[in-house]
DNA sequence: GTCTATAAGGGGATAGAC
DNA sequence: GTCTATCCCCTTATAGAC
């Protein structure tokens, strides 16, 4: 095999392959060799560049939610919009989330999951809430959204996958009820 | 080591050890050897009795929810009671559920998770509901309860672990809102 | 910067004696 | 029914040549 391009692009090729395979098959079921093969790179390089498989996993399984669509929405429609954003597939929130959940037997992966849950689900909700129970309400709403992801992707609840619009509306209503302070 | 008791009790010892370790450490992080050690039994016997590690896992990670407390409760308090039952630690619903979620990268374990989700969460809710949307509502409520478990145990959301009573009441209210038909 | 070759360990599972 | 001994595969990770 010919020597490939410079170190920079090799690193990126490994990262891209790892990101894809980890999301598709999860941590435990993705050998380093498979990552190397997909990246068309020597297996030794994977470790050389990233130190260990776990480092590589943590390096690739990050999330930053795009909260722009959340900023300009009126508070009484926030629940629906939030569900909409989470379910939007542009960023692969769901895949990364799923991989983290399944890998959470490993302590450091669990830690990353907590960060992702906090930063991507709790924080955006919390930012728009006020009142004494704001924190608890944000966490409950985040848990509910987590439950939606769990149901859709982990248990594969196809019966819940009605029209996307219906899902966003009904689930949005649940979230909305939680974040709206009790009368 | 002296020969232990009869085959019957050996089988039970293996089952008990496996059940405990799988719940504590999960599928991937529990070697057959550790199960044998805890059961004070030869490693070869584990496979001999149960065929494979995966079979043993599926054999031990079952759930049957005790739905007696659900039968005599008035429908308008059903949500709260349901959350109460799920969080009651008598049966280790949560541990088994957690182990199944984390193991769900394996196809057969995912299948078992779907069964458990269906039988222990969806079905008890569905049994008390009626109306056109009954099925969808039952599934959404089940997903929400799954979200609670997810948040409490998988991400370890300690901030959500307020007083148990508070949790049951507030989360029960959410479930109740879902299973109560819209006006 | 990339390769070959291999170390070093752990895993599940099996054969066959007792 | 239970044991010892071991097979065999797969894994991550490293050493050192090119």
B177's CB contacts (< 8 A; 6+ apart) are A174, A177, B79
Three-state DSSP string of A36-61: HHHHCCCHHHHHHHHCCHHHHHHHHC
Q: What is the pLDDT of residues B39-85, one digit of tens each?
A: 999 999 999 999 999 999 999 999 988 889 999 999 999 999 999 99
How much is the CA Rg of chain A, to the nearest whole Å?
A: 19
Q: B22 falls in which pLDDT band (50, 70, 90)?
A: very high
> In chain B, which ranges are E strands?
none
Averaged confidence pLDDT in chain B: 93
How many CA atoms lie within 13 Å of B2's alpha carbon, on the beta-carbon side? 3
Q: CA–CA separation, A154 vs B101, rounded Å?
A: 7
CA distance B8 to chain A (A): 32
CB-contacted nucleotides of strand C (7 Å): 1-5, 10-16
pLDDT score of B153:
94
Separation in Å, CA A59 to CA A19, A49, A68, B67, B122 = 9, 11, 24, 44, 37
DSSP code per residue over A70-117: HHSS-GGGHHHHHHHHHH-SSS-HHHHHHHHHHHTTSHHHHHHHHHHI
Question: How many angstroms separate the CA atoms of A131 and A137, rounded?
Answer: 10
Q: How many CB atoms lie within 10 A of CB B26?
A: 22
**Model confidence band, residue B183 (pLDDT cutoffs 50, 70, 90):** low
- Nearest CA to B93 out of B125, B117, B109 is that of B117
Of A135, A154, A162, Cβ closest to residue B104: A154
Using DSSP, how many helices (H) and how many strands (E) does chain A show?
A: 11, 0
| pLDDT less than 50: residues of chain A | 1-2
Between CA A55 and CA A173 the distance in angstroms is: 39
> Does the beta-carbon distance from B160 to A143 stay under 8 Å?
yes
Residues sharing a CB contact under 8 Å with residue B107, sequence separation 6 or more, in sequence order: none
Domains of chain A: 7-60 (1.10.10.60), 68-179 (no CATH)
- Any residues with CB less than 8 A from the CB of B48 and at least 6 apart, and which? none
Task: Please name the member of B102, B114, B144 whose beta carbon is closest to the beta carbon of A147.
Answer: B144
Nucleotide nearest to B53 (CA to C1'): C12
Helix or strand holding residue A32 (H, E): helix A32-39
State yes or no: pLDDT of B1 exceeds 90.
Answer: no
Mutate to test the interface with A, among B22, B98, B143 (most CBs of A within 10 A): B143
Determine the pLDDT at residue A165: 94
Q: Which uninterrupted H or E stretch holds A139?
A: helix A134-149
Q: Residue A93 CB: number of other CB atoms within 10 A?
A: 21
Structure confidence at residue B104 (pLDDT)? 96
| Cβ-defined contact of B140 to A171 (cutoff 8 Å) | yes
pLDDT for position A1: 47
* pLDDT of A134: 96
Per-residue pLDDT tens digits for B126-137: 999 999 899 999
Instruction: Say what the pLDDT of residue B89 is.
Output: 66
């Amino acid at each position: 095999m010919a020597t490939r391009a410079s170190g920079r692009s090799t690193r990126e090729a490994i990262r891209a392959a790892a990101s894809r395979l980890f999301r598709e098959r999860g941590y435990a079921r993705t050998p380093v060799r498979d990552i190397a093969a997909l990246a068309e790179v020597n297996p030794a390089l994977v470790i050389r560049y990233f130190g260990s498989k776990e480092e590589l996993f943590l390096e690739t399984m990050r999330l930053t939610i795009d909260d722009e669509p959340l900023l300009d929405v009126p508070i009484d429609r926030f629940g629906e919009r939030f569900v909409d954003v989470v379910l939007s597939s542009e960023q692969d929130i769901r895949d990364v989330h799923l991989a983290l959940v399944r890998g959470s037997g490993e302590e450091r992966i669990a830690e990353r999951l907590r960060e992702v849950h906090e930063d991507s689900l709790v924080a955006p909700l919390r930012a728009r809430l006020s009142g004494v129970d704001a924190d608890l309400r944000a966490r409950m709403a985040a848990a509910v959204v987590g439950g939606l992801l769990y149901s859709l992707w982990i248990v594969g609840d196809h019966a819940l996958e009605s029209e996307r619009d219906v899902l966003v509306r009904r689930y949005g209503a649940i979230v909305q009820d939680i974040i709206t302070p009790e009368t």
